[in-house]
């Protein structure tokens, strides 16, 4: 069972993406992924209600293939964001939250805390486009949150520093690392697993921004045991989402 835990659906001119469920399932079929966990780009960058509704529609078309993250374009919408999260969980069947963060609009601020607490209540993971420092702030306030650091530090705002991401994850047992990234450094995954354990690493590709093949190969073509790979490549995200294999 291979699950890609980091996929984008919908439209974004900024990322030059226009992808629906059919296209993404076709890509998953071609590469051999059983399930894909999607976040809608409209929800992530513009209107959470519209985008999450669109994603729910795509999930209904591919109920065995697409798992959904609820997405919030900002954590500064207070009760409205909490209610949207509730709707995504109870009405749409989404089992995770995706939030973005930039240096200019960092989510490492008090208004994010009630949202994380809501995720703890719902027992869902948060895939957050955060730096290691932001993760430390968030988990310092809500240590029970199951936070997945998108790209494991290998993104522009985190200056590509996956070593620091591992150090942050050593301090917080509920911090998980996502493998999706332009970075394909040798030894990255082995270092993660040796330091944190295979249970803390989540396989993702960032399709269709990134080519999924290098993302798959940098994980599969490593010196990990089959058991460890099974966790990284699907077992962990299914466990966190409480989803059936």
Partner 1 sequence: MIYDVNAYIGKWPYWPVRSSSSAEVAGELTGWGIDRAAICSTRSIFVHWDDGNCEVEQAAKNAPDRFVAFATLGTLELSHQLPRRGYDFEAYAVRGFRGVRLFPHHHSYHPLYDGFVDTVLEDAAARRWPVLLPLRLIMNWGMPMLELAVIEALVERHPRVNWILSGINYLWELQLAVRLMRRIPSVNLETSCVMGYAAVEKLVEQCGAERLLFGSGAPIQHGAAALSKILHAAIDTNSKEQITSGTFRRLVGEI
User: Interface with partner 1 by CB under 8 A: which residues?
Assistant: 16, 31, 154-156, 158-161, 163, 182-188, 191, 207-218, 221
Nearer to partner 1, 30 or 90 (CB): 30
Helical pair 78-90 and 48-61, crossing angle rounded to 10 deg:
10
Q: Cβ of residue 6: shortest distance to partner 1, in angstroms?
A: 13
Alpha-carbon distance of 210 to 195, in angstroms, equals 27
CA separation (Å) from 5 to 53, 97, 149?
20, 12, 12
Do 230 and 198 touch, CB atoms closer than 8 A?
A: no
Q: Cβ of residue 82: shortest distance to partner 1, in angstroms?
A: 33
Nearer to partner 1, 22 or 211 (CB): 211
Closest CA to 177 of 141, 201, 208: 201
Nearer to partner 1, 172 or 188 (CB): 188
Q: Cβ of residue 125: shortest distance to partner 1, in angstroms?
A: 24
Alpha-carbon distance of 103 to 89, in angstroms, equals 29
Q: Cβ of residue 44: shortest distance to partner 1, in angstroms?
A: 17
Nearer to partner 1, 133 or 173 (CB): 133
């Amino acid at each position: 069972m291979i699950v890609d835990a980091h996929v984008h659906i919908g439209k974004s001119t900024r990322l030059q993406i226009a992808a629906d469920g059919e296209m993404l399932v076709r890509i998953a079929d071609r590469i051999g992924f059983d399930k894909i966990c999607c976040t809608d780009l409209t929800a992530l960058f513009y209107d959470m209600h519209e985008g999450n509704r669109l994603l729910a529609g795509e999930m209904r078309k591919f109920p065995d293939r697409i798992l959904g993250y609820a997405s919030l374009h900002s954590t500064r919408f207070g009760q409205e964001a909490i209610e949207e999260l509730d709707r995504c969980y109870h009405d749409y069947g989404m089992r995770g939250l995706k939030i973005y963060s930039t240096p200019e609009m960092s989510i490492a601020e008090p208004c994010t805390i009630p949202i994380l607490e809501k995720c703890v209540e719902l027992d869902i993971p948060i895939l957050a486009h955060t730096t290691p420092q932001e993760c430390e702030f968030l988990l310092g306030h809500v240590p029970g949150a199951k936070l997945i650091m998108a790209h494991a530090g290998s993104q522009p705002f985190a200056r590509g520093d996956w070593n620091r991401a591992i150090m942050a994850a050593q301090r917080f047992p509920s911090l998980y690392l996502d493998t999706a990234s332009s970075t394909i450094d040798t030894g990255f995954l082995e270092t993660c697993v040796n330091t944190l354990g295979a249970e803390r690493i989540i396989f993702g590709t960032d399709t269709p921004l990134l080519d999924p093949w290098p993302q798959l190969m940098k994980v599969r073509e490593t010196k990990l045991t089959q058991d460890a790979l099974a966790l990284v490549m699907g077992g962990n995200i299914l466990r966190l989402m409480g989803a059936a294999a």
